[in-house]
Structure 1
Amino acid sequence: MSTYKTALRVVWAHKFYFLIYLVGMSAIMLVIGFSNMQAAVSATASSSVGRFEPARAKIALINRDKASEAGRNLGQGLEDYLKKSSDLVAVDDDLQSLQDANVSGKSDLTIIIPSGYGQQFLDKLNESQSSSQPGSAALPEVETAASYNSSRGSLAQLQIDAFFDGLRTASLTGLGRAPGAAQAESAATSGSAPASSFGAASTSAPASASASPVASHAQSQAPSPTPLSPADLKSAAAYTVSHYASNQPAIKVQTTSKKDAKTLAAGFAGTISLAAYPLMTALTVCVAILFGAFNSPDRHRRLLSSPLPTAALDWQELLAAFILAVVSWGYYLLAAVGSTTAAGGSVASLGWGRVWLSFAAMFVFALAAAAFGFMLSQFNPSSSVINAVGVIAGLLIMFTSGATSGGYLPTSMQTIGKLTPGWWYNSAVTAAMGVDSSGQNAATGSTGIGSWLAPLGLIALFALAYICVGLMASRLTRTRSTLAAATTSDPTLVG
């Protein structure tokens, strides 16, 4: 295992590349993934269905009719009614204070009950009650001034209209009558029962000319409605306040199935998909430098003169590359889980089956990235070329895989992306997590175990193709190599 240990020493000698490309680049990707996961957690928290609470307006209620009983009862009823939906603020009853409160935003709506309003309201109710069309008389209006700084004041005016409509209805229908008045009216009605019965019997008889005087006499004997009193107004206001909910528009919160798990899964899938850039760049550079060190002419001559079979030496080199891929995969796996937990998400809530499928896709992609580095090393490039190719390959995969796109990629970029393992890696991760890719078409971003297995197989085929091309290049370079001493060597590849 001396070749294997030498390979590990070569990797350790170039640990600076590993730190820059894997740790450094993955830190950038994890920051992006962390922000996406935080947004997903916030969206999940805000999507919880709870109580609907409309905005509460700040209302200044000024009652200038407290001298009369009707004004006091009406003002108290309006205050109790508004407290259920608004916040009442205290403002001095002078012009300057009212204007300051309205302009400064201290109150969204100012309501003024003018002097004598309560008695005017009662008079209109009695007039409407005695008329042939109850409710036809127009009620007096209170003075209101809504602030232009907020729309809550204008909406609160609807509450005032609802209160007075309910108050009029309760008063005219007797729902708001005081107990004593209701009993007196009931007694008056029972005393006129014979006349009503007589009238009813007369109308059931055959129609004749003498029926009209009898009906007129019965109607003339009917008792007139009892006038409403301030006590009746107080009872009607209390009834209106107690039935506040029935006076409001019907507001129903429609509960739907929350997509908490789907939102979190999309954020986690984005974090895992972003591993394509650091893994491809780091493994391409590190594996290429590893195999490049063994492919240098002087080391190649030593390997040819070794008593060990060539296959055994190759397997030891491949084992070192495999260990490098496993370490890179494990590092990003732990970093992604830690980033998700730090953002407030729970990996266990996503389902360990789906999570491990995404980890498996990342592992296969890491092997494909290592295979790409092996292929690159067989062309004997310099260290600068290896770094350039590794960075370009990582950027190409990052921008064409669809993992970093806020919308669907153009057709040309999709075509380029499908020629790289990054596209299929993103497809496998999103399929494993049961979400659609943000940058791929819906057909490509379909979910399910079959949709996960197909792109995973394509990633493995990419790895196999890289290995085959690398072996072919290695055979061509080794058959043309000589045992002559090399005139130059690249010192950067020396372990």
Structure 2
Amino acid sequence: MHTFKTTLKILLAQRLMILIYVVWLCLMMFGLSWSMIADLSKADSSVTFDAARPDVAVVNRDAHGAALDEALRDFLAKDCDLVDVGTTSEQLQTAAASNYADLIVIIPDGYTQRLADALAEDGEEPRLDVVVSFTGAYGSLAKLEVDDFLRLTRLEALAGQAADGSPVSAAAVTDAAGRVNDTLADDPDAYPAIHVADDPKAATDRQESARTAYVTTVKMGVYPLLAAMLVCTALTMNSFAESNVRRRLYASPQRTGAMVIQQFAGCALFGVVVSLLYWAASLALPMLGGLPVDGVPPATIMYCGLSLAIYSLVAVSAGFMISMLSANAVAVNAVANVFGLLVMFTSGMAFPVDMMPKVMIAIGKLLPGWWFCQSIDAVNGADGRIDAGAWLACSGLVLLFGVAFICLGLAFSKLRRNRPDLSAPGATQLAEV
């Protein structure tokens, strides 16, 4: 028990490694998960409708068309945002090239009079000069409103002509344009409000989003847990591998195997605690994002927690194996990052499985991260599906990796004990008091 307590003290004394590998890596994964949760919390949750308002610029070059220009602006202001792009050719070209406005409407010189003449003689109506944005459909929709305004103005002008028999003049056209806006303003049904009906599946969708967020966050632990536990375990157990320390340990009445088991148990306890904290954070993040976690099946929550604990024990086993090689801190960090990234990119967490090459899938199946993610998928609760048998099989394979790491570590330990570097030094070393 003394070795167990000493292991925990040495482990907790490695504050820098714990800060980098446990705290920082987990926070990095939580940051990625939070961005996904924020997007999921916004999806399908709106109870109001906000119509997109295109940016429209109206340029009047008609000396006698001020009233028509004002009426057109009033008509478009109901559904569009009016912007100013200037009046010169250079300014208009710059606005069109920079896509500053979705639609630019130019009233050419003499347009009002030509429109009146066309209506009086039943001729072809003149056209406005328009420039539609090339990046979206909002400009085209705004152009339809411009056409609608001209159509209503024409009908109003012709109706006035039929009522009093007077010819259609430029003044009559501008008066008709003003009456269009007045008529629409007095008609309550001209601009009907859009009401959003309640989606009967809205709550179910948000519950599904919470389940997806939770499961994805749990799977993101494939890299930080492996790297953190491998580094912390290897460096802690390396502290017992120094020549002077090993000599004293082997000279003690305790059995070597019992001391190694206590060292491993101390690191395993730390790994399980970290995995449970990660598990709690994975469940808390969807709650903080406003998603209802009651949609996550309780069985999914419990099985995922067990998968994290089992995976952390395998990571501790990998750290135990590396420590038996007496690798220095630089080598341990290199192995943890290379091995952790390899496991992450071949586990199916970083990329969808159907997009991964067959070579990556084959490599992934030879590593514990793949089976950890498969165990999560088996009990992810999609459509209420909980496959306990598949979870047990995948978790058993993950544990077999841990057993293999321990066996390799014991083999390395036996080779190290047979090395001749345990002999006494050639000269007596005086202890400093």
For normalisation by structure 1, the TM-score amounts to 0.59
Q: Which amino acid aligns with 1:38?
A: S
Q: Which of 402, 419, 425 is the aligned partner of 1:463?
A: 402
- Equivalent position of 2:57 in the other structure: 58
- Equivalent position of 1:162 in the other structure: 148
Q: Evaluate the alpha carbon distance shift between residue 32 and residue 139 of structure 1 in structure 2; reply closer, same or farther with a 3 A threshold.
A: farther
Q: Where do 1:330-409 residues align within 5 Å?
A: 330=276, 332-333=278-279, 344=289, 348=293, 351=296, 353=298, 354-377=300-323, 379-383=324-328, 386-405=332-351, 408-409=355-356
Distance apart, 1:417 and its partner CA: 1.4
- Equivalent position of 2:104 in the other structure: 108
Q: Evaluate the alpha carbon distance shift between residue 410 and residue 76 of structure 1 in structure 2; reply closer, same or farther with a 3 A threshold.
A: closer
Q: Where do 1:81-480 residues align within 5 Å?
A: 81-86=75-80, 97=87, 102=92, 105=95, 108-111=104-107, 113-115=111-113, 117-118=115-116, 121=119, 123-124=120-121, 138-147=122-131, 155-165=141-151, 237=180, 241=184, 266=212, 269-294=215-240, 313=259, 315-330=261-276, 332-333=278-279, 344=289, 348=293, 351=296, 353=298, 354-377=300-323, 379-383=324-328, 386-405=332-351, 408-433=355-380, 448-450=386-388, 452-471=391-410
8 Å contact 1:82–1:159 — kept in the other structure?
yes
Q: Evaluate the alpha carbon distance shift between residue 84 and residue 19 of structure 1 in structure 2; reply closer, same or farther with a 3 A threshold.
A: closer
In 1, Cα distance between equivalents of 2:327 and 2:143:
79
Distance apart, 1:369 and its partner CA: 0.9
Where do 5+ consecutive residues of structure 1 fail to align? 67-71, 125-137, 182-225, 436-445, 489-495
SS at match of 1:141: coil
Q: Which has the larger radius of gyration?
A: 1
8 Å contact 1:33–1:271 — kept in the other structure?
yes
Q: Which amino acid aligns with 2:51?
A: E
8 Å contact 1:11–1:286 — kept in the other structure?
yes
- Equivalent position of 1:34 in the other structure: 31
In 2, Cα distance between equivalents of 1:102 and 1:245:
36
In 2, Cα distance between equivalents of 1:322 and 1:370:
6
Q: Evaluate the alpha carbon distance shift between residue 240 and residue 16 of structure 1 in structure 2; reply closer, same or farther with a 3 A threshold.
A: closer
8 Å contact 1:401–1:422 — kept in the other structure?
yes
In 1, Cα distance between equivalents of 2:402 and 2:91:
73
In 1, Cα distance between equivalents of 2:223 and 2:214:
16
In 2, Cα distance between equivalents of 1:87 and 1:16:
55
Q: Evaluate the alpha carbon distance shift between residue 305 and residue 81 of structure 1 in structure 2; reply closer, same or farther with a 3 A threshold.
A: closer
8 Å contact 1:58–1:86 — kept in the other structure?
no
SS at match of 1:466: helix
8 Å contact 2:210–2:296 — kept in the other structure?
no
Query: Is structure 2 residue 42 aligned with structure 1 residue 45?
Result: yes
Q: How big is each residue's C-alpha offset from its partner over 1:273-332, in whole Å with a ceiling of 9 and x where there is no partner?
A: 343333223322333344455567766676666566777655533431222213432554
Q: How big is each residue's C-alpha offset from its partner over 1:33-92, in whole Å with a ceiling of 9 and x where there is no partner?
A: 4145325524652655552624332335668379xxxxx8x989766644444456899x
Q: How big is each residue's C-alpha offset from its partner over 1:124-156, in whole Å with a ceiling of 9 and x where there is no partner?
A: 5xxxxxxxxxxxxx4552452224777866654
SS at match of 1:362: helix
Distance apart, 1:454 and its partner CA: 3.9
Where do 5+ consecutive residues of structure 2 fail to align? 96-100, 427-433
Distance apart, 1:271 and its partner CA: 4.2
In 2, Cα distance between equivalents of 1:163 and 1:139:
19
SS at match of 1:419: coil
In 1, Cα distance between equivalents of 2:419 and 2:230:
25
Q: Which amino acid aligns with 1:362?
A: L
Q: Which amino acid aligns with 1:280?
A: L
8 Å contact 1:298–1:486 — kept in the other structure?
no
Query: Is structure 2 residue 9 aligned with structure 1 residue 6?
Result: no
In 2, Cα distance between equivalents of 1:336 and 1:350:
14
Q: Which amino acid aligns with 2:28?
A: V
Q: Evaluate the alpha carbon distance shift between residue 98 and residue 424 of structure 1 in structure 2; reply closer, same or farther with a 3 A threshold.
A: same
8 Å contact 2:37–2:213 — kept in the other structure?
yes
In 2, Cα distance between equivalents of 1:90 and 1:310:
84
SS at match of 1:114: helix
- Equivalent position of 1:185 in the other structure: none
8 Å contact 1:146–1:153 — kept in the other structure?
no
Percent of aligned positions that are identical: 26
RMSD of aligned residue pairs (Cα, Å): 5.3
8 Å contact 2:207–2:293 — kept in the other structure?
no
8 Å contact 1:167–1:240 — kept in the other structure?
no
Distance apart, 1:375 and its partner CA: 3.6
In 2, Cα distance between equivalents of 1:309 and 1:256:
66
- Equivalent position of 2:429 in the other structure: none
Distance apart, 1:421 and its partner CA: 0.9
Q: Evaluate the alpha carbon distance shift between residue 240 and residue 323 of structure 1 in structure 2; reply closer, same or farther with a 3 A threshold.
A: same
Q: Evaluate the alpha carbon distance shift between residue 8 and residue 228 of structure 1 in structure 2; reply closer, same or farther with a 3 A threshold.
A: same
Q: Evaluate the alpha carbon distance shift between residue 410 and residue 228 of structure 1 in structure 2; reply closer, same or farther with a 3 A threshold.
A: same
